[in-house]
Structure 1
Amino acid sequence: MPEHDIESLTPRERARIIKSAVAPRPIAWISTTSVDGVDNLAPFSSYNYISSAEPVVLFNTPYAEGDDQKDTPRNVLETEAFAVNVVPEALAEQMDTTSADLDADESEFEFAGVERADCERIDAPRVADAAVTMECTLYDSLRVRDRLVILGDVEYVHVDESVLTDGQIDAAKIDTVARLGGPYYTDSEPIELERQF
């Protein structure tokens, strides 16, 4: 079995191991609006929740400053608002298209042909056909080595009726898309194993 001292690997080799081993990774399809009023939409596969009873979600992105900073983190830090849209399999190609490197004055909603809807609590759109959308306000941000971690307080949730059973979200009904290592995606097809304890 190959073994590696992390210090002996290049940054690219380390990243490939981590991104392949920590999988599948859920995707936060994050929508924001810039201070100039441009709607932005981008997928982030380094995403999870950190608190559930008092919901806080987090995502991270490469750390950068000034003009090198990506639109999404810049928008979140400047407006303190973002929406996390759960990606259904039917929108997987459009989600992938929104990862294109566009100018800050271009909207990925138009570029990828994604329908938007209004949010209730924040000044940013949401993906109209997302299974679930969580409207968030900025809780905090911090730098961890070469990454910027952004945490968001979940303030409001939109849930599509099609993923409910008895008024609750039914995980078996959400065909979410996730990332694997390299260029690969996967869906959330359940296996024949239920948690016992």
Structure 2
Amino acid sequence: MEFDFEMLAADDRYKLLTSTIVPRPIAWITTVSKNGIRNAAPFSFFNAMSKTPPILAVGIQANASGGMKDSAHNILDTGEFVVNLVAHAVAEAMNITSVEAPSEVDEIALAGLDTLPSVKIFPPRLAASPVVFECKLHTPIEVAKNQLIVLGEIVHAHIDDALILDAEKCYVDTPALHLIGRMHGRGWYSTTDDHFQMERPASFAYGRTKT
């Protein structure tokens, strides 16, 4: 079946994208508004984009009424945000913070989450997250009305001590993170506990023929 993305409605494009680009890591973003109200919300249009500088990209869609989401407003207003990765143990709390609540609602309190202070930026990090990235806004890209792609530069990272295999070599016990990702449709998630390994080819000699 062929799909002409230039002709499809936005909701249909969204369904195709989210049903096929799976699993998607989740950026559980914490921000603080210019009025001091804390916000937490999960976003699965998210990944790491660069090591120099260390850049994360997060796509923040418009809200149900077509307006800009609080997370996007707060990032544009303050230039700071925290990306907390989501462990399976806190999936329920993450889901609570996905609610489209009024701007004056503190979703961190709503979900009963504890926070810890960040080191280099003002928004707090979530204590339950095994991996946290403190980010400063690098480049905002408004790709459509009230729809933002945020490029954030990581300025500090927090990783649970129990998950570090070798601090000097920056080796992390990735399977022990027990992170979850977004799958197809509404409410479907995956774990990262089922995995396999393949070694990359060591080298390739152009023009070599089999004998």
Tell me, yes or no, whether TM beats 0.5. Answer: yes
Corresponding residue for 2:206?
Answer: none
Q: Distance in 1 between matches of 2:195 and 2:129?
A: 23
Is the aligned partner of 1:164 residue 2:164? Answer: yes
- Secondary structure of the equivalent of 2:84? strand
Corresponding residue for 1:139?
Answer: 138
Corresponding residue for 2:204?
Answer: none
Long gaps (5+) in structure 1: none
Equivalent residues, number: 194
More helix by share: 1
Q: Distance in 2 between matches of 1:93 and 1:24?
A: 18
Tell me the alpha carbon deviations over residues 76-95 of structure 1, each in whole angstroms, 9 at most, x when there is no partner: 10000000001100000110
Q: Percent identity?
A: 31
Q: Shift in Å at residue 61 of structure 1?
A: 1.2
Corresponding residue for 1:190?
Answer: 194
Q: CA RMSD in A?
A: 1.7
- Secondary structure of the equivalent of 2:28? strand
Q: How does 1:1-197 map to 2 (within 5 A)?
A: 2-63=1-62, 68-145=67-144, 147-167=147-167, 168-183=171-186, 184-197=188-201
Q: Shift in Å at residue 194 of structure 1?
A: 3.2
Q: Distance in 2 between matches of 1:16 and 1:86?
A: 24
Q: Shift in Å at residue 143 of structure 1?
A: 2.0
- Secondary structure of the equivalent of 1:150? strand
Long gaps (5+) in structure 2: 202-211
Runs of 4+ with deviation above 6 angstroms = none
Q: Distance in 2 between matches of 1:138 and 1:8?
A: 33
Tell me the alpha carbon deviations over residues 14-51 of structure 1, each in whole angstroms, 9 at most, x when there is no partner: 21111111110100000001111111100000001111
Q: Distance in 2 between matches of 1:55 and 1:121?
A: 15
Q: Shift in Å at residue 7 of structure 1?
A: 4.2
